[in-house]
Amino acid sequence: MLYKDRLILTMDGIDQQYVAALNKDTGKTIWKTNRTTDYGDLDKDGKPEREGDNRKAYGTPSIVSVAGKDQLISVGSRAMFGYDPETGKELWTIPHANFNAAVRPVSRDGMLFVNTGSSRAHLLAIRLDDKMQGDISNSHVVWDRAKRNSRFSGHVLVNDRIIQSTEGGIVSSIDQKSGKQIWSDRLPGTYMATPIVVGDLVYYANETGQSRVIKVLGDKMEIVGEGELEVGIQASAVVADGALFFRTKTMLYKLAP
């Protein structure tokens, strides 16, 4: 991801785990910070189990403002972190039990919403303030939703709700403040792409090319539009210049008035 004059990179692989900032024009390393995660995966010989496979994560970090200062939020295997994007200094951490994190953190109204990754992912709401330092698991986690959370498809914010879908198409509407589920329903197919939001409508596309437009602010899910492309979709759609862009497994589509 780009931040000011730098490109922020994360590496959560078998052999290396770090966050780094590179000069976007020259590629020169500005700072590099190793993960301080205790992975808890060493065998009797002191080597990572499964050849270090449980140390993987794939998520893009986010920049959020905390007490007037930018923080870089990055979810790795077994822990999430807040960093100073200017210096790379680790500011805070929350250990967790998952790996393969892929969903990007989002924030609103002084709250951060983070998915921990893999098939047993948790969805956490974290209070953002100037007291975030060290392990903040007990001081800043407002609620923790332990079941039926996304594995790949990112959660989105619509008014005071979080909307998310599991890989198997179970869509949930969750109150942002309490973490309480408002409703849950199912869409056909399997889902990897993050939906997009237009007003109170959420646009989902599945791996066989079917798309659904759903209304989410009532006490149940309402499908208000449908469409289908020939090939499945795994990449997230984007909006630019009044058009909607879908990338399928073989084609790039532009949908516009």
pLDDT, tens only, 133-173 = 999 999 999 999 999 999 999 999 999 999 999 999 999 99
Residues 30 and 93 placed together within one structural domain of the fold: yes
The pLDDT-based confidence of 222 (bands split at 50, 70, 90) is very high
Domains held by the chain: number: 2
- In angstroms, the CA 200 to CA 230 distance is 27
147, 184 in Cβ contact below 8 A? no
Q: Which residues pair with 230 in a beta bridge?
A: none
Q: Which residue's structure tokens are 């498809």?
A: 153
The CATH number covering residue 88 comes to 2.40.128.630
What's the whole-model pTM score? 0.94
Using CB atoms within 10 Å of the CB of residue 108, give its burial: 0 to 12 exposed, 13 to 18 middle, 19+ buried: middle
Specify whether 40 is located in the same domain as 111.
yes
Question: Domain ends where: 147, 170, 199?
Answer: 147
Provide the pairing of β-strand 210-215 with 201-205: antiparallel
- Which of 240, 247, 237, 152 shows the shortest CA–CA distance to 202? 237
Q: Single out the residue in 98, 121, 147 at which a domain terminates.
A: 147
What is the C-alpha to C-alpha distance for residues 32 and 8, in angstroms, rounded to an integer? 10
What is the full DSSP assignment across 84-110? -TTT--EEEEEE-S-----SPPEEETT
In this predicted model, what pLDDT tens digit does every residue of 30-50 receive, in sequence order?
999 999 999 999 999 999 999
Coil, strand or helix at 11: strand
